[in-house]
Amino acid sequence: MSRAALIAPSLLAADFTRIGDEIRKAEAGGADWLHLDVMDGHFVPNISFGIPVVEAARKSTKLFLDTHLMIEDPVHIAPAFAKAGCDLITFHVEALVPRAQRTKREKGWALDRELTAEAVAKGRETIDVIRAAGKKVGISLNPDTPAVALRELGGLVDLILVMTVWPGFGGQKMIEDVVPKVREIRDRFPAPWVEVDGGVAPGTIAKCAGAGANVFVAGTAVFREPDAAAAVNALRSAAK
């Protein structure tokens, strides 16, 4: 995979009263990908949007649609998102494990050990389902989940998404203690894209890039700025 810095504005930070214009603004501003945060109200406490918004985004842009499923049991819904026009579908490693076997944090789920054989099998099934739909596949882990949780699956995917905030809430400050995990993941898995999501801004992106990340999700740092092109360029320059 290319290690060039890819900027992926998160649609979650856009003005949904004019979503088509916002998508076109990001594309005209030089964004490489469009990041779509799908929340189900179960895996994370909030609900964002679903398949109709993905379909609308597909009609509005030729950008690569990077879809992050923050949902329980993604294997069943992933084909519908593939059909809606996603180019890459990312699911959470924590969602492969029954709730009773996860660690509950104040803002979300974590794992504290390697996956069981059953969870690995479920992960492989999810990867296979997404690939069978003709899409690239990613796997994500929350801030407190260690890199070792990806030992069996990290080499099977196209992208590893490291959450640098707790998923489900926009506009959070980056948890910089997670950055060393980005380096660990890049060292363990040299082939996939390594993506970071949460608190990415000109002042924080260089640390993530230095640790080996090459895809950067930025919501407010792009959509809440008056000049999207200047915002994207600032991020790309800082990542270099």
Which residues belong to the active site?
37, 197
Alpha helices in the chain (DSSP H): 19-28, 51-60, 74-84, 117-132, 179-188, 205-210, 220-223, 228-239
- Give the amino acid at 193: W
Nearest residue to 132 (alpha-carbon basis) of 191, 189, 70, 89: 89
- Give phi and psi for 13, each to the nearest 5: -90, 0
Query: Is residue 165 within 8 Å of residue 130, measured between CB atoms?
Result: no
- Give the chain's end-to-end CA distance (angstroms, integer): 17
Check: CB of residue 11 under 8 Å from CB of residue 34. yes
Please report how the helices 51-60 and 74-84 are oriented relative to each other, as an axis angle in degrees rounded to 10.
30
